[in-house]
Every structure is written in C-alpha cells, then in structure tokens.
Amino acid sequence: MDPIEKVQAQYQQVRREIADAAIACGRDSEDVMCLAVSKTADVDAIHAVIQLGQKDFAENRVQVALPKIQALASMHLGDITWHFIGPIQSNKTEDIAKHFSWVHSVDRMKVAERLSAQRSPSLPPLNICVQVKVENDPERQGVAFADIIHFCDQLSPLTNIKLRGLMCMPAASASEEEIHQAFAKTKQMLETLNQKGYHLDTLSMGMSGDYQIAIQEGSTMVRVGTAIFK
Ligand SMILES: *Cc1c(COP(=O)(O)O)cnc(C)c1O
C-alpha cells in the first residue's frame, strides 16, 4: 500500500476505535477528541489526515514543529490547531506562545508566566493543561497531586493563558491496573478543582497504547501518534 493510503487507513481505524471505546462505556463519541501526535510525521503524512478532516495536531519539539507548521500554513488547508505536548525549555516559550494554541505540558510557574507574558494579547488566550505527575518519582515531569490546587490557583492572574484542564502520562512500565489508577486519580483531581469553582473541561489522557483505558476513565482528548503515523 502506498504510504499515504496506509496512514489514512490507520487514522480511520483509530477514529473508529475511539468512537467505539466511547460508546462501549456509555459516552458520546463526540466527547472524546482525537489529537494526532505528528512528531514523527512529515508534512505529506500530516496533509493526508487533514484531507480526512483532522484539524488538531500535537508536537513535542519546537525546532521540529515550526518548519511543519509553516509549510502547512502556506498550503492554505484551513484552520489547523497546534498543541504543544513536550518538555518546555524557558528559551522556547516565545515560539510556543506564538505558534501554538494549546500547551499540555505546563508544570512550572516560570514557564506559565513566560507563556502568558509572551502570548500576544491580539490572539485568543493560550489554552493550558497542567501536567500531573502520576508517580512518586522525582525525576518525572509534572506537578505532584498534592501541589496541583496551589499551582492552579497561582495561574489565575496570568491573563493571556487559559487553564483548560489536566494532562497525565503514566510511565511506560506501568501495569494496566496502575494506568487505570493514574487516569482515575487525574479525573478525580479535575473534579476537585471544579468543585472549588474552576470550569475545566479537558482531561488530556491516553496514547496509542492506552487510549481505550483513558476513555473508560473519562479522557476528553487522546494523544495518538504511533497508531496513526507508524
Ligand atoms: C509521543 C507522545 C504521545 C503519543 O504517543 P504514541 O504512543 O506514539 O501514541 C502522546 N503524548 C506525549 C506527551 C508524547 O510525547
């Protein structure tokens, strides 16, 4: 099969599986958004899924993303929404604030402050998810559960970013049971925040290997790369 047709078939398969997983647990298939993680994909592969209606793409490295974002913009394919999902270095926040609409991996105040300061007020606020650390591993990215409320409260004065929800990523070594628990705890945290007066609508959870579990546990946005673009 030609590589473009292969990507298109894989994309359609993923979309069907997301819808089926939602329906199987009594959810509306429209409630789970598919974020196509294009970090390993070239412009042609991205274009192939845009042709099938995909509008939301995620990248994890600024230097890799920018040429693709620019190339696709010059093709005038309609609105494409770019999501940043990778580790954030302070010296990259300006490019992220300029070229992306969402950032899923905010876990330090300094980064949040820079993103807000560097986001142009002429653009809509940058949508933010706080990345939650789901293991007690100090080496891992993310804000510990115990610190999430305080962290979110500190974001409120930052006017050019808009907190939308939480992101989590279980360790590659996690068992199925641990993955369920990590997603369930993250959902519980979102509910706790909403009980405190937040209006958060986004749980960014689930990748190629675990998006079915994430959907069962309430994910509203799955980040799928390999299953689409392998
Ligand atoms: C690469 C990546 C994904 C997608 O992972 P796949 O297993 O390829 O679907 C999701 N989230 C983040 C943060 C990533 O870096």
Name the β-bridge partners of 132. Answer: 143, 168
- Which two tokens mark 182? 């990590």
pLDDT of 139 = 78
CB 99 within 8 A of CB 73: no
Model pLDDT, residue 1: 83
Ligand 1 atom at minimal distance to the Cα of residue 227: 9
The Cβ of residue 14 has, within 10 Å, a number of other Cβ atoms equal to: 20
Asked whether residue 81 carries a pLDDT value surpassing 90, the answer given is: yes
Task: Find how far residue 75's CA is from the centre of its chain.
Answer: 24
Rounded distance from Cα 128 to ligand 1 centre (Å) = 17
Alpha carbon of 16 to ligand 1 centroid (Å):
19
Bridge partners (DSSP) of residue 83 are: 58, 102
pLDDT for the residue 137: 74
Average pLDDT over residues 178-187: 97
Distance in angstroms (rounded) separating the CA atoms of residues 182 and 202: 16
Q: Name, in order, each residue with C-beta under 8 angstroms of 74's C-beta and a sequence gap of 6 or more.
A: none
Say how many Å lie between the CA of residue 212 and the centre of ligand 1. 14
Token readout for 178 is: 């641990």
The pLDDT of residue 158 is 98
Q: For the chain, what is the largest distance between any 2 Cα atoms, rounded to a whole number of angstroms?
A: 52
Q: Examine the pLDDT at 124 and tell me if it is beyond 80.
A: yes
Any ligand 1 atom below 6 A from CB of 61: no
CA 152 to centroid of ligand 1, rounded, Å: 24
- Tell how strand 221-224 and strand 33-37 pair up: parallel
Whether 220 and 203 have beta carbons less than 8 Å apart is answered as yes
Is the Cβ atom of 169 under 6 angstroms away from ligand 1?
yes
Question: Is the beta carbon of 34 within 6 A of some atom in ligand 1?
Answer: no
